Structure 1
Amino acid sequence: MFLLYIAGSCNDDQQKLFSGSTTMHFALSDNELDSIACSFLNTSESYITVNLPVELNGYAGQNYRFRLKADSSQTTAIVNKHYQPLEEFYEIKKDEYSLNVPITLNYSPELDSLSVKLVLQLEPAAYMSTGISYRQEATIVSSNRLPPIPYWDGYYSSYFGPYSRVKHRYILSELKLNTFVKFEDYMEWSNLNRTQKTAYGMQMNNFFAENEIYDEHGQRIEPWMN
């Protein structure tokens, strides 16, 4: 009994010691420290889930609760409109050192012409030490704006016909090209072989032949290949 008591006391002291020095931070890549860009262009869904990684630095011998708070002085996104409400708290379980926190972004029509920003601040439990200062905040920028394609007639029209913004959106969402090539970069597009580009053009041609879709001017998008 005595030995068990000593061991228990030692563990309690260790836990208090290490708990005091345990810190928490957003484990973002260098490219994500400034902001995480999220676009609805490559999906037909009305929401996007972003997983924000939170990591511990120190002792993980207990559960660690924390909150995420939207910084009202920097955030332009509106809760329930541009993103789903945050949980009351999140928790990294004992013996685990990280947690991916899901943040759900909602599509809203005004995102077609503007971007909104959600700035989240990490609020660890009061008994924890402050973590890496520049990793206590994460910024998510949400938009559905189309990047311009200045050389459509020279590089794209022979495969996709006349340009329209609606067609552009469907090309991105149906083909999901931006997962492996930056569609709007005509140099990257040009590097694809002609067979690939023709196949993409035919796929979209057939899509618009089978679906009655209207462009931003109220005109039906007609097939352009025979």
Structure 2
Amino acid sequence: MKKFLLVNVWAMIIGCSLLGCQENERVLYTEKPAVYFSSITEKDSIFYSFASGLTDEDIVSIPVRIIGTSTDKDRCIMIEVDPASTAKKGVHYKDLSESVLLEAGNVETEIKVTVMNRELENGDVKLILNLKTSEDFDLGYAGSLKAKLVITDQLVKPSYWDMPLSLYYGAYSKAKHRVCIQLQGFDFPEVMDFNRISSYMSYGRMVYNYLLKTPVWDEDTQAWITADWSPL
């Protein structure tokens, strides 16, 4: 009898939980949709480095996403440059619109901005973007409404080097990073591109074979960078 009662109690609890989830979803999608930065929080930064010397201009894409459902019409996401930004329009960046189109049928899009390699000799500059309310969207998750883009001419360790790049290139150093750019002909993008895994494996072996014959002196660590790892 007790076992039967316990089963019924658990069934009621699970049923109420599922009902509560359904109610929350109905509330979520009947409220005005909201927008937020989907891959960065206010505590994070996106880094773009011109240290490779391969280009003086590039496009940075910052993903934004909505809380809510897609619709059958285009909608606009509004943004503004935060006054705390140190990057100058026309000097460090350009082609930044005050609104971004979210096309019909989508719940995610990107803010695109062209960054430029100018007047960076005195240090990094920051471009801070804020999301704004609009006729189409409220603001979403607190802490994900501001994006900070740091533009620099210094080498920046990729955020994904420790895993998985270290599997192919070993421990990070700026000297090794420069060798990678030299041999590969490109720098590592700010976001991991998993479509390049096989390429990273091949390039990692190339860097390994190069360092076997030509160790590189690292001014930062005052040590020789050698082929001291086992590439995949």
2:40–2:144 contact (8 Å) kept in structure 1: no
Q: What is the alpha-carbon distance in structure 2 between the residues aligned to residue 45 and residue 192 of structure 1?
A: 23
| Count of residue correspondences | 155
Query: How many Å separate the matches in 2 of 1:24 and 1:98?
Result: 9
Q: Do 1:111 and 1:144's aligned partners in 2 also have CA atoms closer than 8 Å?
A: yes
Aligned to 2:131: 122
Aligned to 2:59: 49
For structure 1, the 5+ residue unaligned runs are 1-16, 148-166, 181-190, 205-226
Matched, 1:66 2:80: no
Question: Do residues 93 (structure 1) and 139 (structure 2) align?
Answer: no
Q: Deviations over 1:92-127 (max 9, x none)?
A: 11210100221111001x324400000001124235
Query: Do the aligned residues in 2 keep the contact of 1:41 with 1:172 (CA within 8 Å)?
Result: no
Find the residue that maps to 1:78 and give its secondary structure.
Answer: coil
Contact 1:92 1:98 (C-alpha < 8 Å) held by counterparts: yes
Whether the aligned pair in 1 keeps the contact of 2:128 and 2:146 (CA below 8 Å) is yes
**Equivalent-residue separation in structure 2 for 1:129 and 1:121 (angstroms):** 13
| Gap change, CA 1:101 and 1:145, over 3 Å in 2 | same
> What residue is the counterpart of 1:219 in the other structure?
none
Letter in 2 for 1:87: S
SS class of match (1:134): coil
Of the three residues 131, 144, 147, the one matched with 1:135 is: 144
Contact 1:40 1:48 in 2 (8 A): no
Which amino acid is 1:66 matched to? I
CA shift, 1:170, in A, is 7.0
Per the alignment, residue 169 of structure 2 pairs with none
1:79 aligns with 2:86: no
Give the conservation status (yes or no) of the 8 Å contact 2:77–2:136: no
Deviation at 1:178, TM superposition (A): 6.0
Structure 2 residue aligned with 1:157:
none
CA distance in 1, matches of 2:30, 2:74: 10
The question of whether the paired residues in 2 share the 8 Å contact of 1:83 and 1:106 is answered with yes
**TM-score, normalised relative to structure 1:** 0.57
Q: Is the 8 A contact 2:80 2:98 kept in 1?
A: no
The 1:86–1:146 alpha-carbon spacing in structure 2 relative to 1, beyond 3 Å, is closer
CA distance in 2, matches of 1:122, 1:193: 42
* Whole-angstrom distance in 1 between the partners of 2:207 and 2:91: 42
Q: Indicate whether 1:105 and 2:105 are aligned.
A: no
Alpha-carbon distance in 2 for matches of 1:121, 1:23: 14
Residues 29 and 118 of structure 1: is their aligned pair in 2 closer, same or farther, counting only changes over 3 Å? closer
2:153 is equivalent to residue 144 of structure 1: yes
In 2: Cα distance, 1:118 partner to 1:57 partner: 25
The question of 1:35 aligning with 2:49 is answered no
The alpha-carbon distance between structure 1 residues 113 and 95, as it changes in their structure 2 partners (threshold 3 A), is: same
Relative to structure 1, the CA distance from residue 20 to residue 170 in structure 2 (aligned partners, 3 Å threshold; closer, same or farther) is same
> What percentage of residue pairs aligned between the two structures are identical?
21
TM-score by length of 2: 0.55
2:182 aligned with 1:174: yes
Whole-angstrom distance in 2 between the partners of 1:54 and 1:96: 11
How far 1:27 moved relative to its partner?
0.7
